[in-house]
């Protein structure tokens, strides 16, 4: 492999798909702006995106460990930035002198995704997880080793920093993702929004709310062609890359996640456009709303959501300025954290592991 200044280890095909991928790309952009002569290369370990790493990721990962080790064993850059499932094997194979910043932004690394499916889908998911159990254990062992090997661990929430400490007995640098903040809040709308559908995202909670409040209109942004089992006051909308379009005409944003989101970007993003968010009290989501009024403690209970929804929906128009101000303060804090991160990456790149 050609010697470069920075090696970025990630799932190349998904680099800007989700919040974690977008954030790592943003860090790389800032690092190269601060150091314009830096030479960068990106590797995903040579995986062919459609077939190999997407369908049975942990099986493919175990099968292709030799390929990943070759990437790490042949690399001698001044700095490695790593994230995603392909990262641990590469990190553990790197020469001792190479400094590593490891970005951990997904609770799936610790297998903290419960089975929220129903009926036959629940049994199928349980069987799938049982089949993957040996590979899951292998990945988790390699991941812990990689966390100890890395020079800098980067979390995207206090929640994730706590998980990292539990797994590795090490502290991490918390760097919140920088979500957009509009100059002024959008005009208040009448609809209630949800980004994503399905069991893990709380689709059943939204359906229960829609049936309980037939006069309220709900809009679910989804990649699916259509929505199943929804009352007439629920409409489907396509996935939006432009955040302002996602939050237009919304009175309230729901984030009823049934899994421990590492950060919960959509909650803070909504508030950046002046739309208050009502969220599950799990994972990193509670950090992204201003008070307990916007958190549902018993997040698995439809009745608890119904009890929390009515006051949230009623007061949402008056809460828009406060929500927008919260997002502005969080953006200022995220900007400060990013500056610290870029400085620490620059020190690692300049002085190596001695500058840790």
Within 13 Å and on the Cβ side, how many CA atoms surround 148?
9
Indicate whether 215 and 117 sit together in one domain: no
Indicate whether 160 and 51 sit together in one domain: yes
Indicate whether 155 and 17 sit together in one domain: yes
The count of structural domains within the chain is: 2
Residue 14, domain member (yes or no):
yes
The dihedral formed by the CA atoms of 52, 55, 56 and 62, expressed in degrees to the nearest 10: 20
- Collect contacts of 166-174 with beta carbons under 8 A, ≥24 apart: 167/110, 167/143, 168/144, 172/104, 173/337, 173/340, 173/341, 173/344, 174/337
Question: Does residue 184 register a pLDDT over 80?
Answer: yes
DSSP 225: S
Residue 120, domain member (yes or no):
yes
Indicate whether 170 and 311 sit together in one domain: no
The answer to whether the CB of 290 falls within 8 A of the CB of 326 is yes
- Statement: the pTM of the whole predicted model exceeds 0.85: yes
Indicate whether 220 and 247 sit together in one domain: yes
Q: Which of 122, 141, 175 is the last residue of a domain?
A: 175
Question: Does residue 50 register a pLDDT over 70?
Answer: no
Indicate whether 169 and 268 sit together in one domain: no
Residue 27, domain member (yes or no):
yes
pLDDT in the model for residue 12: 52
Question: Does residue 46 register a pLDDT over 60?
Answer: no
Indicate whether 150 and 30 sit together in one domain: yes
Indicate whether 151 and 196 sit together in one domain: no
**Packed helices 203-212 and 302-315: angle between N→C axes, nearest 10 degrees:** 60
Q: What is the pLDDT of residues 69-103, one digit of tens each?
A: 888 887 788 999 998 888 899 999 999 999 999 99
> Mean pLDDT in the chain?
86
Domain that holds residue 27: 6-175
Question: Does residue 130 register a pLDDT over 60?
Answer: yes
Indicate the pairing of strand 250-255 with strand 191-195: parallel
Indicate whether 217 and 98 sit together in one domain: no
pLDDT in the model for residue 19: 62
For 162-196, b where at least 16 C-beta lie within 10 A, e where not — what string?
ebbeebbeeebebbbbbbebeeebbebbebbbbbb
Indicate the pairing of strand 152-155 with strand 100-104: parallel
Q: What confidence category does residue 134 fall into, taking pLDDT thresholds of 50, 70 and 90? A: confident
Average pLDDT, integer, range 31-47:
76
Higher pLDDT, 55 or 126: 126
Residue 276, domain member (yes or no):
yes
Residue 339, domain member (yes or no):
no
Q: What is the pLDDT of residues 189-214, one digit of tens each?
A: 999 999 888 888 999 999 999 999 99
**C-alpha of 292 from chain center:** 22
Indicate whether 85 and 131 sit together in one domain: yes
Phi, psi of 40 (to 5 degrees): -125, 140
Higher pLDDT, 244 or 345: 345
254 closest CA partner among 338, 186, 194, 191: 194
Question: Does residue 1 register a pLDDT over 80?
Answer: no
What is the C-alpha to C-alpha distance for residues 180 and 178, in angstroms, rounded to an integer? 7
Indicate whether 146 and 208 sit together in one domain: no
Indicate whether 225 and 322 sit together in one domain: yes
Question: Does residue 162 register a pLDDT over 80?
Answer: yes
Token code pair at residue 82 = 């790593």
For the beta sheet containing 250-255, the strands, ordered from the edge strand earlier in sequence to the opposite edge, are 234-238, 218-222, 191-195, 250-255, 277-280, 295-296
pLDDT in the model for residue 117: 76
Q: What is the pLDDT of residues 224-238, one digit of tens each?
A: 767 888 899 999 888
Q: What confidence category does residue 11 fall into, taking pLDDT thresholds of 50, 70 and 90? A: low
Residue 336, domain member (yes or no):
no
What is the C-alpha to C-alpha distance for residues 234 and 232, in angstroms, rounded to an integer? 5
Residue 235, domain member (yes or no):
yes
Q: Is the dihedral of CA 280, 281, 282, 285 positive or negative?
A: positive
Within 10 A of 353 (CB to CB), how many other CB atoms are there? 12
pLDDT in the model for residue 212: 96
Q: Residue 294: which CATH number?
A: 3.40.50.2000
Q: What is the pLDDT of residues 245-287, one digit of tens each?
A: 889 999 999 999 999 989 988 999 999 999 999 999 999 999 9
pLDDT in the model for residue 31: 86
Residue 354, domain member (yes or no):
no
Q: What confidence category does residue 112 fall into, taking pLDDT thresholds of 50, 70 and 90? A: low
């Amino acid at each position: 492999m050609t010697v470069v200044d920075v090696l970025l280890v990630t799932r190349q095909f998904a680099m800007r798909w989700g919040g974690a991928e977008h954030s790592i790309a943003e860090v790389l952009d800032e690092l190269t702006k601060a150091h314009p002569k830096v030479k960068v290369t990106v590797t995903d370990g040579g995986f062919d995106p459609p077939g190999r790493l997407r369908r049975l990721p942990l099986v493919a990962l175990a099968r292709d460990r030799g390929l990943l080790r070759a990437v790490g064993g042949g690399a001698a850059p001044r700095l490695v930035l790593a994230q995603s499932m392909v990262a641990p094997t590469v990190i553990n194979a790197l020469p001792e002198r190479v400094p590593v910043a490891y970005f951990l932004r997904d609770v799936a690394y610790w297998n903290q995704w419960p089975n929220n499916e129903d009926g036959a889908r629940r049994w199928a998911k349980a069987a799938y997880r049982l089949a993957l159990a040996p590979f899951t254990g292998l990945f988790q062992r390699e991941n812990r080793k990689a966390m100890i090997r890395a020079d800098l661990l980067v979390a995207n929430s206090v929640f994730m920093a706590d998980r990292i400490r539990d797994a590795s007995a090490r502290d991490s640098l918390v760097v919140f993702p920088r979500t957009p903040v509009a100059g002024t809040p959008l005009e208040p709308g009448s609809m209630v929004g949800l980004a994503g559908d399905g069991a893990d995202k709380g689709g059943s909670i939204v359906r229960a709310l829609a049936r309980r409040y037939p006069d309220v209109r709900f809009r679910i942004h989804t990649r699916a062609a259509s929505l199943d089992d929804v009352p007439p006051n629920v409409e489907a909308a396509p996935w939006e890359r432009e955040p302002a379009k996602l939050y237009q005409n919304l009175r309230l944003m729901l984030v009823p996640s049934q899994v421990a989101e590492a950060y919960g970007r959509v909650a803070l993003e909504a508030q950046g456009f002046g739309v208050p968010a009502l969220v599950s009290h799990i994972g990193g989501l509670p950090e992204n709303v201003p008070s307990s009024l916007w958190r549902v403690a018993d997040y698995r209970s439809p009745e608890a959501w119904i009890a929390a929804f009515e006051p949230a929906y009623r007061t949402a128009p008056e809460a828009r300025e406060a929500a927008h101000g919260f997002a502005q303060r969080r953006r200022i804090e995220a900007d400060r954290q990013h500056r610290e991160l870029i400085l620490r990456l620059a020190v690692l790149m300049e002085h190596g592991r001695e500058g840790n």
